[in-house]
Structure 1
Amino acid sequence: MVSRSNVRGGPTRRDCVKYGGALLGGGLTAGCTDDSDSAPDSAASGANGDGVDEPYTVSMSPVGDVEFDAVPEQVFTVFPQYLDMAVALGHGDAVNAVYVPEMSGTTMNHYYRHLDGVSLEWDGLHDPLQDGLSKEMLYELDSDVLLADPAWASTQSGWTKSEVEEVGSTLAPWFGNFYSGTHDPAPEGYDDYQYYTLWELFGKVAEVFREAERYEALAAVHEDLLARIEEGLPPEEDRPTVVRATLSEDGSKFWTYHLNEPGYWLADTRPLGATDAFAAEDWDGLFGTVDYEVMLEADPDVILHLWGLTPNYSMADTRRTLEDHPAGKDLTAVKDGRVYPAGMRYQGPIMNLFQLEMGAKQLYPEQFGEWPDYRDGEPYPNIPADEQLFDRQRVASIVNGDA
């Protein structure tokens, strides 16, 4: 179905298996040649006017030029931003794996609940990291594209760069970019690594699925939301100090993250322009670890509890732990009731829209309306139509192909 144009000079074992099985059934597999009963429409599949699929190429760092014979029908993902992209483009059913399916799928459905006709059936998806990234699992799933970064894969236990390249040439092409999330350096051997924004990556994935119109329509919603937020932001001197953090399970420390640094992991906080209470900290890694004494010194006006909207954390327990702690109870954010749930760093485009709206209301209620009460396990709260920062029906229509 798909190939790396620079490494696959002819049919692989996998191609032969697919073609052979289909020939015994009376015809080649759909999407490999014309099949008038089952082939997708020309705009989505890359077919020409006669309904015959034509190869197309999509370029992205670090994978280079990737040639596709047809729109992928089996898609492997690791982190949920790529699953969210597939859903947004109308291809969520093609995905066969995602990181911690129950957590990722439940969280995504918390948002999708507000989009008529949009949902994710996550039960049955494989967890690609349950036992580490497994070559056996990849071959068993027999995907048409691997929406994961080969540079990142080369750092996983049991993998070498040559093994990553072998999988990309004999199974399916890699198509992902992990280090744009934080702008951390890519591993050795990927010297020309290029960074993209979340929405630039989404555009690349849209090219893979031949869904330019859906992408452009959703990108327009995103641009309108950013403009609305930027227009409504108060002067910098009037913005709150904020910490994005996760309380440890035993309640003894915080894992802390920046707000305004580059990278798509911050695509939901950077546009909000709040004052990062730990902006001066240069942690050795993707996050820092601080105790209550350090948190009290920073004493933020607001704490955004990362993963708080996922089923893995209880915001009620988090607030209770902070209120019962001799130092935690003195934090301004705790005393003022401004400890809020945040979503996931691994956010795709739909998640990003909701998380931007959520953050805007939590940080700037006077400008964007109050953030409603949130109870553990419930979906993203209902917000009155006149207080919504983007049009849910517009998004649902785009995703459903009705726009």
Structure 2
Amino acid sequence: MRDTQRSRPLTRRRYLAGTGVLGAALLAGCTGGNTETTAADSGGTPATDAATTTSGAKPSTGAASHAAALAPVGDVSLDSVPERVFTLYNQYADMLVAIGHGDAVNSMFVPEMAGPTMNRYYERLDGVTFEWEGLPNPYNDFSKEFLYSLDSDLHLLDPAWAVTQEGWSESDVAEITENLGPFFGNFYSGTHASPPEPYAERYQYYDLWEIFDRVAALFDERERYERLAAVHEDLLATIEADLPPESERPTAVRVTLGDGQFWTYHLNRPGFWLADTRPLAATDAFGSETWDGLWGSVGYETMAEADPDVILHLWGVTPRYEMAAIRERLRSHPVGSDLAAVENDRVYAQGMRYQGPLMNLFQIEMTAKQLYPERFGEWPGYEDGEPYPEIPAGERLFDRARVADIVTGD
């Protein structure tokens, strides 16, 4: 075990705090299971419900070339591109792939699930891939000793989330920041849940692409961010221009099938975990429900009462689930077999909530075709274990070659 109290000089390469905000502030003071509930249910009231609308990138002062600001951390500046980057939730790994720095990732959440899933999307982007084999899962040992063993230049992780974990406090975050490298992340924007009290007053909510903007700035890759953001904006414009009237939209649910129950998730609430469903604005069959945690659960009878037109099965594109087996379980259940979505073959595989920008583009396209085939073209279906399906060029909702060129630097 490494010495967690070792002395390590805080060089300009390691970390340059723009105003000393982070250190002073910190010292002032998944799938089928509810692994995030404790963190998200912590108390506190964010300072605002809206993220800043301007970029968090900081102009260069000559002292540092890689700088950005993100609540609750504040200003962070680095004097060189990070080479070893800690990630937990996979949106950050996808962000780094998107800006050409995927090889800097040194950890990720359930790599044997997330890594293949990311590559199932990247299969449709020429020259883009992610080497995930051998990466450790921080959830298996989220400790200071583990972080010291990784020796990361940057931790793409929300310190407000970190202090909700056993054995962690603000002083531990400050120690890792000083001896290794800064934290830079925002977890509670995922659902707009309340952050823990020590961070509540300085918290802000951002959307997925606002966070991506700030991460890209730390790597001096805002040009790539801006080009990808333009693709995203074009995709949203395509969706918005052809959405049917509200009265003609299907009812839908996003679920994960459990043992005799459905884990249920909202479609249209705030937060970047819904960045792929909210733009489609389907009628959420459980939209009026309020759950104690990040999701709820309902039995077959309750699902039958709602009887949604479409069932979107979260994690269906991942190796964790086989959609053929999911559909068979529903068809063989006396109540499930009578659901309209089952009868009409509208039970679809969905991706991951922990989506970065590249995943988000594919998942918006996927959801648009699943919900509105008459508007955006038929969804060809997803085959278990296979890449994201090939869609004819004329039916794609965004340009694969354009995205691939941005990611690969062409």
TM range, normalised to the smaller chain? 0.7 to 0.9
Q: Could you tell me which residue of structure 1 aligns to residue 46 of structure 2?
A: none
User: 1:192–1:388: structure 2 CA closer, same or farther, 3 Å change rule?
Assistant: same
* Equivalent in 353, 373, 390 of residue 365 of structure 1: 373
Aligned to 2:299: 291
Q: Deviations over 1:326-384 (max 9, x none)?
A: 11001110010000000000000000000000000000000011101221111110000
Instruction: Give the secondary structure class of the aligned counterpart of 2:138.
Output: coil
In structure 2, what residue type is equivalent to 1:2? R
Please point out which of 56, 64, 74 is paired with 2:84: 74
The answer for the alignment partner of 1:179 in structure 2 is: 188
Structure 2 letter corresponding to 1:3: Y
Give the secondary-structure state (helix, strand or coil) at the position aligned to 2:106: strand
Residues 279 and 379 of structure 1, relative CA distance in 2, 3 Å threshold: same
Is the aligned partner of 1:316 residue 2:328? no
The one-letter amino acid paired with 2:172 is E
TM-score (normalizing by structure 2):
0.85
Is 1:265 the counterpart of 2:273 in the alignment? yes
| SS in structure 2 of the partner of residue 195 of structure 1 | coil
Gaps of 5+ in 1: 10-45
CA RMSD, 1 decimal: 1.6
The count of residues paired between Structure 1 and Structure 2 equals 360
Residue 110 of structure 1 is matched in structure 2 by: 120
Aligned to 1:160: 169
Which of the two has higher C-alpha Rg?
1
Question: Equivalent residue for 1:64?
Answer: 74
The match for 1:93 is: 103
- Structure 1 residues 53-101: Cα deviation after superposition (integer angstroms, max 9, x where no partner): 8454311100011121211111110011000000000000011110011
Separation in structure 2 between the aligned mates of residue 335 and residue 240 of structure 1, nearest angstrom: 15
Residues 2 and 67, structure 1, Cα contact 8 Å, conserved in 2:
no
Runs of 4+ in structure 1 displaced over 6 angstroms? none
Unaligned runs of 5+ in 2: 1-12, 24-58
**Displacement of 1:192:** 1.9
- Alignment partners' CA distance in 2, 1:275 and 1:54: 48
The letter of the residue matching 1:271 is P
Identity percentage of aligned residues? 64
Matching of residue 150 in structure 1 with residue 162 in structure 2: no
Answer yes or no: is the 8 Å Cα contact 1:245–1:256 preserved in 2.
Answer: yes
Cα pair distance change 1:57/1:227, threshold 3 Å: same
Q: Is the 8 A contact 1:84 1:349 kept in 2?
A: yes
CA shift digits 1:283-323 (9 cap, x unpaired) = 11100010001101110000000000000001000000000
Matched, 1:354 2:387: no
| Kept in 1: contact 2:22–2:75 (CA 8 A) | no
Q: Which of 212, 227, 230 is matched with 1:202 structurally?
A: 212
- What is the DSSP-based 3-state SS (H/G/I as helix, E as strand, rest coil) of the residue aligned with 1:189? helix
Contact 1:145-1:175 at 8 Å conserved across structures: yes
Determine the C-alpha separation between the residues in 1 that align with 2:356 and 2:218. 16
Question: Partners in 2 of 1:311 and 1:112 — Cα distance?
Answer: 15
Shift of 1:177: 0.3
Offset of residue 47 of structure 1: 9.9
Q: Which residue of 2 aligns with 1:393?
A: 401
Distance 1:2 1:334 in 2: 54
| Secondary structure of residue in 2 paired with 1:57 | strand
2:185 aligned with 1:213, yes or no? no
Amino acid in structure 1 at the alignment position of 2:302: V
